[in-house]
Structures are given as structure tokens and as C-alpha cells.
Amino acid sequence: MKRAIALALRHLGSLLAVAVLVVPVALVAPGYLRGELHRANGDWSVFTPPPAVKYNEALTAGVMAHVPSHASLATVGAHLGAPWTRWVAYVIAPRRLTNAPAQWTMVFGEMPQHAHLHPVRSWRYGADWLVER
Amino acid sequence: MHVVGALAALLVFLPLGAGVLLLTGAWRLARGVLRVGLALFAGLATGAVVLPPLLYIGLSPTIPVVLLLGALVLAAGVVVARRRTFSAEEGGSREEMKAVSIGPLGLLVIAAPLVLLAVDRVRTRITTHDAYANWMLKAKLLYYDGGTFLGALDHRVFAVQSGAAPGHREYPIGVPALMAVVLHGASGNVPDAALLYPALLGGFALVMWTVLRPRVPQWPLLAGLSLVLWQPMTRFLALDGTGDLPVSVFFVASVLLFGLWLAEETPGALPLAALCGAAALACKRDALADCAVLALFALVETFRSRRPDLIRRMAIAVALMFGSIVPWRLFVSLHHLRTPEVSLGSKHLASNLHHVGYIAGLLAHRLLGGNYAYVVPIAAGVAALALVRGPSRRLPTAVAVFGLGLFAVLIVVYVNATVNLGSLLRLSAGRTVYPLTLFAASILPLLVVRVLREESRGQEAR
């Protein structure tokens, strides 16, 4: 009899342990499922920026299309410390953004000639330009 | 196809891990599928430790390099394991260790959340600032630069201040190096290569099973694994693509294995624990604080045994664990890379000291949040109950002391902040407490079962 009680208690212990460990999962499950549904409705491309990052997607796509990988890119009219530059650096890698003059330049908000650049080739993306010197 | 390539690239770490298990004597810890999973996890841990120094001397983190390394380590492992078996048989002291295995139910409970997570992972782009400005940018650069064998670390980006260089160049590069290898399989597709994250989590779940299964009945352990794998923060960090999940799984795996060795001197557990600790240190700077607490705790616990042989072995393991950071620290020092956020003994220490209460309060507030499935308060409650009820107080005392140590060291880190403390805490506290919550979640099944077992023994006696 004692053995039977001990056996029952041992299983009861396991059941109680399972209950203690499953309760937190049950508590957080609804939020988890809501997150899954939200994610399932999402739509994105490689150029879609993260929230709060605003940048010229077409220009970045142009960089990917025209600038050879491993080339360096200078910028005119933009500060490399701006938050969006990190995102652009990630998207265009292994091309590198640089502070120094380079064969390739992204010109923001003005004509390449106004920035004293003499392009061999140039592409316009809205108000911004991609220039090869 | 990128997904298949990424999965195949993950498998190249298998020979390396198998070799490490043979070398360390941890081969007999598990058998069957569990052994394969452990080998993969050990391979990834070894990759995180070994690939960065290889990068510093000019080798690339590519599939052929990992396979060559794996072949060398596996060959050495086979030789060492044969010699070990031979000498044990000669001495007539061959002790049979009972290897742990995992059944279909255990595999299902681990695989279900991981498959969902993996599907989510390949469908989720990288959007967290830390991930695209630091971790994944470094991984992409390591993947695209260099050839099959040489030259992936471009010093213009990793060592010299340039235009939009990756953030935190002073961080160790274990995670970007692992990611770069998987990127070679995924043809440069970052979300697919980030299948590394579910793989690491799966490996950790198998370590947890290996350590706890002989001590915890199946159902409570399955519930405990679910608690780890379904925890919202686990999922968030796995999709995030930063270094927080890798550093946490390697660190807590190290804690569990050190615990196993301290409790039972299980052969192979100590070197594997040191390897996982070294892997955590190779992933993120944060691990320095966590591993310091772990090393201190392990050394004190070993000293209490008053056995010189154990003290010597533990001291060697801890020294090797911390010795693994020497190449990284040399690289950082040689290139004058400094962290802009935290510096131990900084002049900001005095001005931050009166914020200790604020820091502790904010960290505690995070720990009590639903994102961590309330594991820390539950574990603290169960440990307190076990301490009060007794009779065996070793485990709850160890859990409480170690948990408090991790919490205290976080406060020390934040007190040494050199930037605005409020914004640093708001940005990072949710992630820096994760190793503590993962530890609490993984040890909880053992704690609960011990408490209930003592309770049932007490009732049985009455």
C-alpha cells in the first residue's frame, strides 16, 4: 500500500511539475500567436527599409545594378553619420561608403555638375544621382 | 535553394564537432540523434572560437576551410579516443558511462517550435538596427571579401575608421564568422543564412536534454524545453539576427555543463563546458561579465571540494576558456578599437553610483515582464521554497547565488556606462538580461522536480 502511495505521489509530482512549467507558456501563447498572424500578413522586398529609416530605395537599387562589388562610394549632400547610411551600407555591401573622393558618388538633392563632379556616366533617381567619374 | 544550401553549410560543422567530442571525451555523453545534435552544436561552438583567430591571420571563414579544419580535428579525435580506450582497457579501469538518448517525443517537442521558427526566420528580413549596422553587415563583408581560403578580413572596414563602417568593431567576430560560412551555402541570402539561429537554439535544447534527462523525468523536462523554446524573447532574438541569442545559448550551455561536472565529475563535461564558455566569449563582449561570474562560481565550488586534482582541472578549464579571447583582445588593442558605451573603472563610475537602485529596478522590471514568460520570478520562488523546506539545499543555493551573481554583474556593467545611462538601459536591458532568463528557464525543470520529490518523500515518510 505504501509503495502504491509512493508511486502515485511520484507521478503526481511529475504532473505538478509539468503544470508549473506549462502555465507560463500558456500565459504568453496568445501574444505569440498574434505576432505570428501579424508577421504572416507582412510583405517586403530586399530594399524595403526598416521602420523609421527613410532613404532613396531607387538610388540604392541603382547602386546595386551599376556599381561593381567591392567598389567604394562617396557621397555628396549627405552626412555618413545619418541613421539611414547604416542601412544603405548593409544593403549595398560589399560596396563601401567612404568619406574620401571615389570613382562612384551618390549625389543627394543637386545636379552632379553643381557638386563639381564631371561624370563619365550618371543616372537620376528622383532628386538624387548616381555618378561614375 | 538558398535554404537547402544554408542547411548544408550548417552541416559542415558536424565533422569538426564530432572531432571535438572525441577529443574532449564527451562522445559518450549521448548516443544516436542526440549525439549528432551535440556534435553540430560543439562544431558551431568550435567554429565561433577558432574562425576569428584564423581570420586575423588571413584565412577566410568558408566551407572548405571549415571542412579541412573538421578533417584535422576529427582525425586527431579518433586517435585520442582510441588511445584513451586502449589505456583504459589496459589498466582494467574502463568505466561504462550511461549515454543519454532522445526518443521521438523529445525530438518532436524540440522540432515543432524550431521548424516554425525556421520558417519565420527565412521569411523575416533583418530590420533591427544592431543587426544590419553591426552583425549582418560584418557577416556580409566577410562573405563577399576574400577567396576560398584567404583574405576575408578587410582591415579598411574592420580595423580602420572609414565612412559607414560596421558598428562595434571592438566586438569579437565569432557570430559574423559563423554567419559568413553559412552565407557561402545560402549564396549570400542573409535571412536564409540566419537559419544559424534556430540551429543554435536546437543545439542548446539538446545540451539541456543531455544534462537534465538523467535527473528529470521525461514529461517535466519536455515542459521545461517548451518553456525555453516558446519563450517570446527567445523567438524575438532568433528573428532579430544580433549576437544576443548565440552568446546566451553558448553561455547557458556552458553553465549546465560546468554544473554537470561539479555535481558528478562526468567525463567530457568539463572541456565541453569550457569550449561553450569560450564560444560565448567569442560572440559578444557582454559574455566577459557573465563568464567572469561563472568562472568565479565554478572555482569557489571546486575549492570547497578540497581536492587538488579537481581544482587543477577546473583552473586549467577556466584558463583555457579565458585564454581563447587573447587573439581578439590583441586585435582590438593593436588597432586601438574602443567601446563607446561601457568602460570598467571609467570616470563615469562615481557619477553613476547613485543610480544603482534605478538600474536594479529597471532590470528587475524587465525580468518580471511577459516577454520572458515570468521564468525568473518562478525560478526564484521555487528556489526559495526549496531552501526553506530542505533537506537538500545545494542546488537551490547554487541557483540562487549564481542568478544573483549574474544580476549583480549586470548592475556593475551599467554603473560603468560612459554614455547616457537611461537610453543605454532602455535600448539594451531587454537583451542583456536574456542569459539570466535562459538560465532560469533551463534549470527550472530540475528545481521543480527536486522540490516536488522532496515534498513527496516527506509525505511518504509521514
Inform me whether the pLDDT recorded for B323 exceeds 90: yes
Inform me whether the pLDDT recorded for B2 exceeds 90: no
Q: What are phi and psi of A74, to 5 degrees?
A: -95, 165
Inform me whether the pLDDT recorded for B461 exceeds 60: no
Q: pLDDT (tens digit, 9 = 90+) per residue, B234-284?
A: 999 999 999 999 999 999 999 999 999 999 999 999 999 999 999 999 999
Could you count the other beta carbons within 10 Å of the beta carbon of residue B358?
Answer: 14
Cell readout for B404 is 544573483
Domain ranges of chain B: 2-91+104-245, 340-457
For residue B436, what pLDDT is reported? 97
Choose the mutation target among B115, B230, B231 for the interface with A, i.e. most A CBs under 10 Å. B230
Angle between helices B2-11 and B196-212 in degrees, nearest 10: 40
What is the distance between the alpha carbons of residues B273 and B144, in angstroms, rounded to a whole number? Answer: 33
Inform me whether the pLDDT recorded for A41 exceeds 70: no
- From the list B125, B227, B370, the residue facing A21 with the nearest CB is B227
CB contact under 8 A, A6 and B453: no
Please give the ipTM for the structure prediction.
Answer: 0.88
Are B175 and B199 in contact by the 8 Å Cβ rule? The answer is: no
- Using CB atoms within 10 A of its CB, is residue A51 exposed (0-12), middle (13-18) or buried (19+)? exposed
CB contact under 8 A, B157 and A96: yes
3-state secondary structure of B336: coil
For residue B329, what pLDDT is reported? 95
3-state secondary structure of B368: coil
Residue labelled with grid coordinates 561552438: B45
Q: What are phi and psi of B140, to 5 degrees?
A: -60, -40
Cell readout for B11 is 552541416
Of A24-38, A87-101, B71-85, the range with the lowest mean pLDDT is: A24-38
H/E stretch holding B210: helix B196-212
Angle between helices B434-461 and B375-389 in degrees, nearest 10: 30
Residue-averaged pLDDT of chain B: 91
- A37 CA: distance to closest CA in chain B (Å): 11
Q: What are phi and psi of A129, to 5 degrees?
A: -135, 150
Q: Which residues of A touch B230 (CB under 8 A)?
A: 25, 28-29, 32
Who contacts A38 (Cβ-Cβ below 8 Å, separation ≥6)? Answer: none
Q: Nearest-CA neighbor of B325 among B284, B369, B373?
A: B284
What is the rounded (10 degree) CA torsion for B181, B183, B188, B194? Answer: -150
Q: What are phi and psi of B384, to 5 degrees?
A: -65, -40
Which regions of B168-236 does DSSP assign to beta strands (E)?
A: none
Q: Which residues pair with A106 in a beta bridge?
A: A75, A130
- From the list A2, A15, A90, the residue facing B132 with the nearest CB is A90
For residue A52, what pLDDT is reported? 79
What is the distance between the alpha carbons of residues A25 and A22, in angstroms, rounded to a whole number? Answer: 5
Alpha-carbon distances of A12 from A9, B313, B396, B458, rounded to whole Å? 5, 41, 21, 14
Read off the pTM.
0.93
What is the distance between the alpha carbons of residues B50 and B118, in angstroms, rounded to a whole number? Answer: 26
Residue labelled with grid coordinates 498572424: A37
Q: Give the mean pLDDT of B399-405.
A: 97
Q: Which residues of B touch A60 (CB under 8 A)?
A: none
Q: pLDDT (tens digit, 9 = 90+) per residue, B148-172?
A: 999 888 887 887 766 678 888 899 9
Amino acid, single-letter form, for residue B240: D
Q: Nearest-CA neighbor of B47 among B270, B275, B356?
A: B275
